[in-house]
Amino acid sequence: MAPAATKNGVIDGVNSSNGVNGHTTSKKLQFETYHNIINNELTTTAKTRHGINPAAVQPLPEVPVSTQEDVDKAVKFARAAYKSWSKIPIEERGQKLREYADILEDHKDEFAKLLTQEQGKPLAQSYIEFDMSTTWLRAFSTMEIPEDLIEDTEDRRVVCRYVPLGITCGIVPWNFPILLAVGKIGPALYTGNTIIIKPSPYTPYCNLKLAELGMQIFPPGVLQALSGEEDLGPMFTTHPDIDKISFTGSIATGKKVMAAAAPTLKRVTLELGGNDPAIICEDVDIDAIIPKLAMSSFLCSSQICMMVKRLYVHESIYQKFLDSFAAHIKGTMKVGPGNDPENFIGPVQNRMQYDKVRNMYAQISQQGWQPVIGGDVPPSDPADKGFYFTPTLLDNPPEDSKVVTEEPFGPILPVLKWKDEEEVLARANDSKMALGASVWSNDLKRAERMARRVEAGTVWVNSHFEVSPIIPFGGHKWSGIGTEWGLNGVKAYCNAQSLWLKKKV
């Protein structure tokens, strides 16, 4: 259903009068047309573009291509809204987030289907992402941010309190567009900031609808979203009146974000790429851990920064593990469109990533790597067949291989032998990336000892890719700066203020 007319780029008859000021009855959204959300109004742009359904390489609906003028308007309205939003008690802001989660759930089926359509992941995985998102919102909405009592004497009391930054911008990637947008929206708004969401050009649809739905809960200017092309991100990172950028994406782009934010001294949180090692000790129950490792290696077609990217298996169980792992993947991980419930591995999300992953697959024969399963190089032009790859295991490639040292971000996994504990820890730590890692052993003391020596922002024992809204998540080294989620991540949307209170004049 298209709008009848527009005036100054605003869709007639649609504004913040429907559903704000605490109104929690959900007004159903339509999912046929997509707009920017600026100051609780649906707006258009002179130029539009469209995303691509990666399962069939077919165009999706048109979305706006925002300009500097659009960005300036959104920032102006965000600044105006901040003055009142930041003064609302945190308990009331938390209540608004819970109301937002409630009406988001009214659109669960629509969001899950849209996510599969634009991102490509199987529908079951889309529902999981959606459910995580509402869980995250509710968890953020009740977090306590206590003032830290530093000193309390007869003369004075000194506390450290946490105050909002102001205007924030969340730059969201294309692999988990709902969860990673909500993971920025929740902490920003809860702590009294306003936020503008900038979706990936590859997956703008769910993010635009998240902000459109927010019109029913939040005052104008509090939650906005603008879609655009590759030049939109720099408009935000260089804008003089934005106080913080929360960016999730590649290391290369993260460096550009940090450089662009430097002249205006913006706060930045950067959650960047990973090359996660998993170390498998010789005493594990192979049959018990293989399903967990397969899930932690190939979920979302391995397009998750915290997937297992290097699998180190003790040499005494290596061949048995490799054979069992290959059999499990062949038997359970069918490839195909996400709307088919039989499929576990959907397409990679876009042509750029397809070309990068295809280049990695092409090197299998060029470099003499030995595939245990998979390894077929798909066509250079997939036409309308989709951006698909067969899951591939490589048998003990050299440690300096590109597939070991780089993050493929596709369903290809090197399995590597190890013998000595010191040596495998050195190999696991020999990377500029340090996002996540795991150690697997029935000897928990040994596993914990090894885990404490791994260089990574998150280290799991006998699991991988477990996440929670109440636990900080971030990388070391080149995998990021700062953390998202947990109390640490929520405080990252605040300035610390030391308050000295003299008891006597």
- Type of residue found at 477: K
Query: Is residue 305 annotated as part of the catalytic site, yes or no?
Result: yes
Please list the alpha-helical segments (H only) found in 152-309. 177-190, 205-214, 232-237, 251-261, 286-298
Please list the alpha-helical segments (H only) found in 368-473. 402-405, 421-429, 444-451
**Exposure string over 264-281, b if 16+ CB within 10 A, otherwise e:** eebbbbbbbbbbbbbbbb
Tally of CB atoms within 10 A around 376: 10
- Of 129, 271, 407, 484, the catalytic one is 271
**Rounded Cα gap, residues 206 and 76, in angstroms:** 24
- Of 169, 206, 281, 305, the catalytic one is 305
State CA 445 to chain mean position distance: 32
Please identify which residue in the block is written with the tokens 């165009």. 59
Residue 330: phi and psi, rounded to 5, are: -65, -35
- In order, the DSSP letters of 205-232 are HHHHHHHHHHTTTSPTTSEEE----TTH
Query: Is residue 271 annotated as part of the catalytic site, yes or no?
Result: yes
Residues 482-485: contacts with CB under 8 Å, at least 24 apart: 482/268, 482/269, 482/270, 483/269, 483/457, 484/183, 484/184, 484/187, 484/246, 484/248, 484/269, 484/271, 485/136, 485/183, 485/187
For the annotated catalytic residues, the residue numbers are: 271, 305
